[in-house]
Amino acid sequence: MNHIPVLVAEVIDLLNLRKGGIYVDCTLGAGGHTFAILNACERCFVIGLDVDPDALILAKERLSVYERSGKVKILRRSYTQLSSTLKETGIEEVDGIIADLGISSMNVDTSLRGFSFTKEGPLDMRMDPSSEKTAWEVVNKYPEEKLERVIKEYGEERFARRIAREIVKSRPINTTLELVDVISKAIPFSKRRKRKRHFATKTFQAIRIEVNSELENLKKLLIQAENSLKTGGRLAIISFHSLEDRIVKNHFRSSEKLRVITKKPVVPTEEERKMNPRSRSAKLRVAERI
């Protein structure tokens, strides 16, 4: 399934688009937010970054008209290189920055990338397929205590110790469904049944965060983003779990360079939640450079 962008109208509204402005979409994905910015903004220019070559193919298709007319520059680059990318492009400061964190629907749906706990696939989970660490390495090589810490901290999983122990006992584990089977042995049946979401959700999330250094990358992005904005420029971050949201909230509150625009996070309307269930956990926070 193609990725449906979340909170688009809210992002467009809160970015306060300026005629002729320069924007960065740090997580271009299939180009949904960039497309909306270019549609809504007269003479605007967007730099779109993503580490996933599959996403970039879709973005290039969707944005081909804008790319041909020079209104968007698409780069295979991590948002942790935001400052150096702007420097290299000859841009000193920008009018707005958006990052839509998390995983794209294309990645979840492609079993070969190993993100899905409902489809058989290799233990991969890399957003950037050229990076070194895979889920296989985390699952099969991490010492038990380190694995437990990852599952507990990044997955907020109360059975982290039992899951880590079961994983170590069952090594080697080579596929996503083998891992699901191991997790199912570690969580008591009665507890598994009571969960609203699939019992492997938290462990998969934790491993994905570890593989992609998602929280460290987010911290790097926040610092570079606030330093790349013009006065009055806005930074919009959409997060999908509490750990990310906490990092964004705390950074916005403690930064001397930012003024918080959204006192509370903006969440999808009931209508959007129904239309796009993936949007359910999305939280948008926006701050302005002072």
Tokens of 73: 């520059």
Task: Name the one range near ligand SAM by CB under 6 A: 48-56, 135-143, 182-190, 253-261.
Answer: 48-56
Q: Residues 10, 50, 95, 226: which binds ligand SAM (CB under 6 A)?
A: 50
In the complex, least distance from residue 26 CB atom to ligand SAM, rounded to whole angstroms:
6
How far out from the chain centre does Cα 287 lie? 18
Residue 236 lies near ligand SAM (rule: CB under 6 A): no
Amino acid at 262: T
Nearer to ligand SAM, 55 or 200 (CB): 55
Q: Other CB atoms closer than 10 Å to residue 88's CB: what's the count?
A: 11
Q: Which of residues 109-138 bind ligand SAM (CB under 6 A)?
A: 127
Nearer to ligand SAM, 77 or 180 (CB): 77
Nearer to ligand SAM, 106 or 160 (CB): 106
Residue 205 lies near ligand SAM (rule: CB under 6 A): no
Nearer to ligand SAM, 82 or 164 (CB): 82
Q: Residues 48, 102, 155, 233: which binds ligand SAM (CB under 6 A)?
A: 102
Residue 104 lies near ligand SAM (rule: CB under 6 A): yes
Task: Name the one range near ligand SAM by CB under 6 A: 11-19, 76-84, 224-232, 279-287.
Answer: 76-84
In the complex, least distance from residue 83 CB atom to ligand SAM, rounded to whole angstroms:
13
Strands 45-50 and 258-260: unpaired
- Of 57, 97, 89, nearest to 76 by C-alpha is 57
- What does residue 198 show for φ and ψ, rounded to 5 degrees? -50, 140
CB crowding 225-261: b at 16 or more within 10 Å, else e: bbebbeeebbbbbbbbbebbbebbbebbeebeebeeb
Handedness of CA 49, 247, 110, 268 (dihedral sign): negative
Q: How far apart are the first and last CA of the chain?
A: 40
In the complex, least distance from residue 34 CB atom to ligand SAM, rounded to whole angstroms:
7
How far is Cα 174 from Cα 136, in angstroms, rounded to an integer? 7
Residue 217 lies near ligand SAM (rule: CB under 6 A): yes
Q: Which residues bind ligand SAM (CB under 6 A)?
A: 3, 5, 26-27, 29-33, 49-52, 55, 78-80, 100, 102, 104, 127, 217
